[in-house]
Amino acid sequence: MAQFTLNVGNLSITDLMHLTYTKDATIKITEQDYTNIQAATDLVAETIKNGITAYGINTGFGLLANTIIPNDQLEELQRKIVLSHACGVGEYLPDQTVRLLLLLKINSLARGFSGIRPVTVDYLIALFNNQIYPCIPAKGSVGASGDLAPLAHMSMTLIGEGEARVNGQVMSAKEALAKIGLKPLTLIAKEGLALLNGTQTSTALALIGLFQALRNFSIAMLSGALSIDAAKGSIVPFDARINFLKNCPAQISYSKIMYDLLKDSELLESHADCTKVQDPYSLRCQPQVMGAVLTYLFSAADNLVNEANAVSDNPLVFTKEKEILSGGNFHAELVAISADLIAIAVSEIGAISERRISLLIDSHLSSLPPFLVNNPGVNSGFMLAHVTASALASENKTHAHPASIDSLPTSANQEDHVSMATFAARRLGGINENVLNILSIETLAACQGIDMRAPLKSSVQLERAKGLVREKVPFYAEDHYFAADINNARKVISATEYYMPILQQLLSVYSNKA
């Protein structure tokens, strides 16, 4: 596979997704990037030579910012900040998250405002390209001053300390570096701080959460459309004329895709002249609910792509003006609030999906056999599967409580307002997993309902989706071990083959919305 040359500071959402999920993709930066990086390094060296005091370069950190460090101790200062700040706890972040974290750190440092040497950036690129992932505990960051603890664990690998994971095997950092012919790096002035400062951990976690949310949204479009046909619902609520008047671009786009999914269905045609006037909200108001969800997912995408391309360490090195300025770009409030919005939006995907499951098992609303099974009473059918979906949807109500509104001061009150972005982003994994399980149950219920309408068929696209499910999960003829069905359905619907055609349409809408 050809190397991907980073357009430093201008990575798109598709770039980020591709480089996260394509394990063997490799990256490089341009000669101009190296020139910019070196210029900032030179200015740091000049600052030290001239005896100018600059935070984190020749001073202590946090509340110790007024402590001047002698020049002969500057390398020791950078090493010690890495060691002392590597105090995370909990399970290690998954390889995909660490891979994206490395990419974001490289993208930020390569802009040339951090005062870090080209060789240090090259070490990070080598880790990324060779799939060597530092072991980073998931817990221990408050999202300001940057993601200090997790980024310290990332940096430990560069100096030959701690552990890294290679092909799923945990080994010492020195062993991991030796596998690619590298020796532990000695950090010079500013480098430890530049590596530790920044929002790359929280941003990587939030982006992974966003990618999962867009996957779940795509799956929910298919399960929502399948449920409409299973319940003999109406296509009218997806009419372009209705949705245009809501003045919500995401709703308009969503409704068009849904209309196209449903329009050729035999099931729709079979009840075109029925007496039912309106469907329940979980069917009829999908454009309004899911349009709102998509609006906020797109908004979060804008914010997180901007953050992914930002320079978020401190202090920053401005080579043209020959100034080193201290600020607060490490504060991840934008990431925290964006993650909170994703949490709420994804929870709503699950909430309305649970309502559609409830509708389908209720024979009064769906006109299908009770609990979607023949010989009900002897068979319980989807009764308890719906209870599981309800439990997961209810659990997400607690998980979606905003994290960004919380703050505890740190560093002896020097860092007196923090974002909690890392937790805000990290909990998205659990919310998305709950929603994926709810959608698995809805997909099975909807496929069951459509099969019960035979010989009538759904549209070509929806029959394709149902066919993929039926390859792994047969029709529910009588009660049996149900958890295996849900697990197999989850595997089917979370495979790119199932949802990618819809996701590609959503990404096209996102790319063209400006």
Measured distance CA(265)–CA(445) in Å, rounded: 18
Provide the 8-state DSSP code for 347: H
Residue 320: phi, psi to the nearest 5?
A: -65, -40
Do residues 452 and 373 lie in contact, with contact meaning Cβ atoms separated by under 8 Å? Answer: no
In terms of C-beta density within 10 A (0-12 exposed, 13-18 middle, 19 or more buried), how is residue 326 classed?
exposed
Tell me the three state secondary structure of residue 4. Answer: strand
Q: How many C-alpha atoms does 86 have within 13 Å on its Cβ side?
A: 23
Tell me the three state secondary structure of residue 291. Answer: helix
What is the rounded radius of gyration, in angstroms, for the C-alpha atoms of the chain? Answer: 26
Give me the residues paired with residue 164 across strands. 134, 171
CA-CA-CA-CA torsion for 208, 328, 316, 182, nearest 10 degrees? -40
Please spell the DSSP secondary structure of 114-171, one letter per residue. S---HHHHHHHHHHHHTTEEE--EEE---SSSSSHHHHHHHHHHHTT-SEEEETTEEE
Do residues 356 and 224 lie in contact, with contact meaning Cβ atoms separated by under 8 Å? Answer: yes
Catalytic residues: 55
Amino acid at 477: A
Do residues 444 and 373 lie in contact, with contact meaning Cβ atoms separated by under 8 Å? Answer: no
Beta strands 89-92 and 4-5 are: unpaired
Beta strands 132-134 and 163-166 are: antiparallel
